[in-house]
Amino acid sequence: MWSRLAYTFRETGASLRRNVTLTVAAILTSAVSLFLVGGTFLVQRGFDNLLSKWAGGVQMIVYVNPTATPDQITNIRTVLAQNTNVVDVSKLDYLDYARSLEEAKRLFAADPGTLNLLNQTNLPTQFKVVPIVGKTDVLVQFEKSFAGLPEVKKIVLARDQIEQISKLRDFVQTVTVGLSILLLIGALILIWTTIRTAMYARRREIEVMKLVGATNWFIRIPFMLEGLIQGLVGAVMSCGFLLFFNRLWTNGVVKLKGDNGFQALVVSNSFLNFVMLMLLLFGMVAGAIASGIAASRFLDV
């Protein structure tokens, strides 16, 4: 057992050293492509945060002053619910203080300062209004009449915010997903080529191993470990890039003044850690599998 392990690590190390140029190229390509994959997840998450308050087809949000009494809140609900030809009453949702605070935590993830200042006296509660299908334009016409209700702080329409954000999100998503897929393919091809080159350089050795009765797995595993290491090192580098750029972005956003909506584009540390963990796992597994397949092609002796 120990001699097999020692053999595997020795062969992997020797092969990595022999193939320095290709190894470095494979690692750098994996790093950049995994960084883009991670970046795509973070951007996606940011946009999801930004749009989360509009999730479920919400087209209008009626913010209610924190000072509103339960009767006044009921009154607003009644007025909204009266318009059964425009408002989908079954989806009319009221977010009380607790739920509004929950949402604020997502939206202000980057701005704990602001988040700490929020309390029951200054955080508005909200009604989320979903129009009946096809009635969005009609709902918009009701904006002014709802705004006049007692204790309504303000009304925000999805149309004004969502369209631009969605367009931007779609564009960014297409570019980052497209680029990361291309680069990932490039990285896997490079890992594949590195392993093929390593195996070609050792074809005589592999032939002898096959003839004296080494199993295919015994031959394959050092190469798979080599691919795994390349993927892992690439993934560690990509996590470094991700941490660095995320910090730059977060610091930049925090410095912006006022409630400009950009705060929502910042992701929480737990999500960042989750993405980095996924990148590390993906890097290792993809590297090992790509090299395992490359190695198998050489073993038909």
Partner 1 sequence: MIRLENVTKIYNSEVTALRDATFDVAKGEFVFLVGPSGSGKSTLLRMMNRQEKPEKGAVWVAGRNINEMPDSKVPHLRRNIGNIFQDYKLLLNKTVHENVAFALEVIGRPKHVIRQQVPAVMDLVGLTGKQDRFPHQLSGGEQQRVSIARAFVNRPLILLADEPTGNLDPGTGEGIMRLLDRINKTGTTVVMATHDQRIVNMMRKRVIQMDRGIIVRDQARGVYE
Establish if 3 lies at the interface with partner 1 (CB under 8 A).
yes
Q: What is the DSSP letter of 131?
A: B
Would you tell me how many other CB atoms lie within 10 Å of the CB of residue 210? 16
Task: Choose between 91 and 210: whose C-beta lies nearer to partner 1.
Answer: 210
Nearest distance, CB of residue 8 and partner 1, angstroms? 11
Establish if 133 lies at the interface with partner 1 (CB under 8 A).
no
Residue 103 CA: distances (Å) to CA of 53, 69, 123: 7, 22, 11
Would you tell me how many other CB atoms lie within 10 Å of the CB of residue 282? 18
Task: Choose between 7 and 244: whose C-beta lies nearer to partner 1.
Answer: 7
Stretch that binds partner 1, among 64-72, 105-113, 205-213, 262-270 (CB under 8 A): 205-213
Task: Choose between 31 and 219: whose C-beta lies nearer to partner 1.
Answer: 219
Cα 99 → chain centroid: 24
Burial class of residue 52 in the structure, from the number of CB atoms within 10 Å of its CB (0-12 exposed, 13-18 middle, 19+ buried): middle
Task: Choose between 179 and 214: whose C-beta lies nearer to partner 1.
Answer: 214
Quote the tokens at residue 8: 């595997």
Alpha helix (H) ranges present in the chain? 2-18, 20-52, 70-82, 97-107, 112-117, 136-141, 143-147, 158-201, 203-212, 216-255, 269-296
Binding partner 1 (rule: CB under 8 A), the pick from 211, 255, 257, 258 is 211
Task: Choose between 222 and 234: whose C-beta lies nearer to partner 1.
Answer: 222
Q: d(Cα 202, Cα 246) in Å, to the nearest integer?
A: 43
Stretch that binds partner 1, among 130-138, 166-174, 201-209, 277-285 (CB under 8 A): 201-209
Reported residue count of the chain is 301
Establish if 209 lies at the interface with partner 1 (CB under 8 A).
yes
Q: What is the DSSP letter of 55?
A: T
Establish if 4 lies at the interface with partner 1 (CB under 8 A).
yes
Q: How many residues bind partner 1 (CB under 8 A)?
A: 18
Stretch that binds partner 1, among 40-48, 67-75, 100-108, 207-215 (CB under 8 A): 207-215
Establish if 268 lies at the interface with partner 1 (CB under 8 A).
no
Would you tell me how many other CB atoms lie within 10 Å of the CB of residue 7? 13
Binding partner 1 (rule: CB under 8 A), the pick from 7, 171, 200, 244 is 7
CB 42 within 8 A of CB 176: no
Task: Choose between 219 and 228: whose C-beta lies nearer to partner 1.
Answer: 219
Establish if 205 lies at the interface with partner 1 (CB under 8 A).
yes
Nearest distance, CB of residue 296 and partner 1, angstroms? 12
Query: What is the bridge-based pairing of β-strands 152-157 and 93-95?
Result: unpaired
Establish if 163 lies at the interface with partner 1 (CB under 8 A).
no
Taking CB under 8 A as the criterion, which residues in 212-231 touch partner 1? 212-216, 218-219
Interacting residues with partner 1 (CB under 8 A) = 3-4, 7, 204-205, 207-216, 218-219, 301
